[in-house]
Structure 1
Amino acid sequence: MERFLDNQAELCLQAYPNLRITCATAYEQRILLNEHECRDLCLKMSAKTCQYNKIRMKSCVPSVTPTIGFLLFVNDDCDFGESKHVNRNVTSKQSTFTAPGNNNITMMRQGKKSVIMDDKTQEVKINATVDTIKLYGSTSYYSSRKNEPQNEFRNIAMLSNPEDCLAGFSVYIEAIDGIQVIDEGMATFQTRTPKICLHKCMKNTLNNGSLLPTNCRSVQYDRITKRCILFNTSITPIGNAYYTPNENTVYFEKICISDMVRRKCEIVLRRIPQYILVGHATAAINASSHNYCIEMCLRSLEMLAFTCRSAIYFYEYSKSNCILNKDSAQTRPEYFTNEREQKVDYIEMDECHSTRGHSLNNLINNRQ
């Protein structure tokens, strides 16, 4: 029976991460150990939809608002279950609106529970079957949840060489506080501040001013030893360098973002691997890459009519894998939490591009 259900699940169920139904009443709820048990129960009950809460570990049948931590199963009407509790008339009673110019965008309105998916409100179809095998992300690491300032490094972001990115793209900097790269690097030297260390990477030079043999992709600074290490690779899952927690180090990585972004300042992005902002999604889009997800966040006011303060990118999904938020860990710290199963990055925008503005002095002075 177990093998039968596994085979039927592959044929009949589509799984969508970070979606949940809020306009229907469940006719049964059970506490289950994992999403596989929820999937099997969905098949046995012949339910139209089932949702599983990975955070609270609760299965809800039947179970669409994008929500981090939920997994939504959609049954393609395969009728072989033990029960006939099928609700074929579950529709939203809330108003909806269309995201401008992009059919791959799901918009959420705070307090309205509105959903748009491929311009079809009543049909949950993303035309992609997502594997429901349990996914394991990289180990969580030390991360300061304080208001990490960013302005100390803004003026350095404009110093990169043109060959760092293709034509039509510019270098942005991602800062990760609290990790140490497990790699020898291509150059190691001592310098007084992380700002000087980052400057060397941006200019692709050694401490004595001579050019590096290959472009610097990332750089790490140890606040205790004052040691600066330049790398020609980046950390996983984008690159192949592994890392470990170290509260005394700060890591910077170059990324290339389209010049279609109208830069209001030299932006430094705060990146935190394996963290998410629970329950505050404003839009969910299909992003081809980590960098494109960031680009859409930076262009959110122009494209989506709201200011995106943070983005969450899920590496193992191709649909609705980029969550854009009007809030951030700074505005909603109580909802900022570790994600231990899926490979994910939380990226926080520099507030210099919005109305508030804050600085990143702690990357220099933190814990010294």
Structure 2
Amino acid sequence: MILTFWWGLLVHGVLASSRCASPNATTYLRSESTRLMEFSTKVLKDVTLNECARTCSENTAVEQCLSFEYDSSILQCSHHSDDGQPFGASVLAKAVPSISFFQQICLLEEAICTAPYSFERYPQSILVGHSMHVINVDGLSDCLSKCALLRIFTCKSVMYYYETGECIMNRDTKFIFPNMFRQNVQDTLVDYFENNCADEISFTEL
């Protein structure tokens, strides 16, 4: 089933190119059981997820690597010069559970941990009733960086509303409260993200 989220133009301050300018650095958003409906520019076999992410970030080819798919069942890495929604116009589609899609994003350097990706992305989803901190931000990158570096509590998940710039941070996740997790939200453009670096980042004052 194709995921029809046509909102690339609403995402700003996320990624100008495949290289992030200081004080930002490159990391990735992971979408499980998802693939990009575009041909890959490069395929690597028998590589780890860390190696796949590193080769995409360090790619110097004419066709930049902006995203990649990783199939954990066969250890295969597929680079893409296109990006999927919400960063690009390319359409995302459902895939088998072993395949995950990774989108490049620029976050503050201190907000990035050693994991190959910083956040898990769940399109058009929200966690109801557990918001702890609500702010308006300049874009998705700003929202995710602030979540990763939040000092007053550990931000384990966050929701970002693309049309309003509202960034809603939670100290709980959908795994703790699955009955409060809502998918396929209608009438607004929102994503739910889980912080993959929650146990590794040293908190700083924002």
**TM-score, normalized by the shorter chain, greater than 0.5:** yes
Partner of 2:46: 191
Residue 223 and residue 308 in structure 1: after superposition, are their counterparts in 2 closer, same or farther (change >3 A)? Answer: closer
Partner of 1:212: 61
Deviation at 1:189, TM superposition (A): 4.1
Deviation at 1:170, TM superposition (A): 1.1
Alignment partner of 1:138 is 2:11: no
Alignment partner of 1:202 is 2:39: no
- Root mean square deviation, CA, Å: 2.6
Mapped partners of 2:145, 2:32: distance in 1: 22
Deviation at 1:164, TM superposition (A): 1.1
Structure 1, 235-244 or 194-203: larger mean CA deviation: 194-203
- Contact kept, 8 Å, 2:155 with 2:170, in 1: the verdict is yes
Q: Pick one of 114, 120, 125 that aligns with 1:266.
A: 114
Partner of 2:181: 336
Which entry has the higher C-alpha Rg, 1 or 2?
1
- Contact kept, 8 Å, 2:126 with 2:185, in 1: the verdict is no
1:353 partner SS: coil
Deviation at 1:306, TM superposition (A): 1.9
Residue 334 and residue 229 in structure 1: after superposition, are their counterparts in 2 closer, same or farther (change >3 A)? Answer: same
**Bigger proportion of residues as strand:** 2
1:184 partner SS: coil
Residue type at the aligned position of 1:327? D
- Contact kept, 8 Å, 1:191 with 1:197, in 2: the verdict is no
Mapped partners of 1:191, 1:240: distance in 2: 30
Alignment partner of 1:349 is 2:195: yes
Where in structure 2 are the equivalents of 1:121-136 lying within 5 Å? none
Partner of 2:11: none
Alignment partner of 1:228 is 2:77: yes
Q: Pick one of 87, 106, 111 that aligns with 1:238.
A: 87
Where in structure 2 are the equivalents of 1:74-85 lying within 5 Å? none
Partner of 1:168: 23
Residue type at the aligned position of 1:188? V
- Contact kept, 8 Å, 2:43 with 2:77, in 1: the verdict is yes
Residue type at the aligned position of 1:332? F
How many residues get paired?
184
Deviation at 1:273, TM superposition (A): 1.4
Residue 354 and residue 334 in structure 1: after superposition, are their counterparts in 2 closer, same or farther (change >3 A)? Answer: farther
CA deviation string 1:105-147 (max 9, x = no partner): xxxxxxxxxxxxxxxxxxxxxxxxxxxxxxxx739xxxxxxxx
Partner of 2:126: 276
CA deviation string 1:79-108 (max 9, x = no partner): xxxxxxxxxxxxxxxxxxxxxxxxxxxxxx
**Bigger proportion of residues as helix:** 1
Mapped partners of 1:337, 1:324: distance in 2: 16
- Contact kept, 8 Å, 1:329 with 1:336, in 2: the verdict is yes
CA deviation string 1:228-259 (max 9, x = no partner): 22112321122222111112311112211124
Residue type at the aligned position of 2:29? E
Mapped partners of 2:47, 2:25: distance in 1: 27
Alignment partner of 1:291 is 2:141: yes
Quick one: percent identity of the two aligned structures? Answer: 25
Deviation at 1:271, TM superposition (A): 1.5
Provide structure 2 residue ranges, at least 5 long, that are not aligned to the other structure: 7-17
Normalised by the length of structure 2, the TM-score is: 0.77
Deviation at 1:266, TM superposition (A): 2.1
Partner of 1:313: 160
Higher relative contact order, structure no. (Cα contacts within 8 Å, ≥ 6 residues apart)? 2
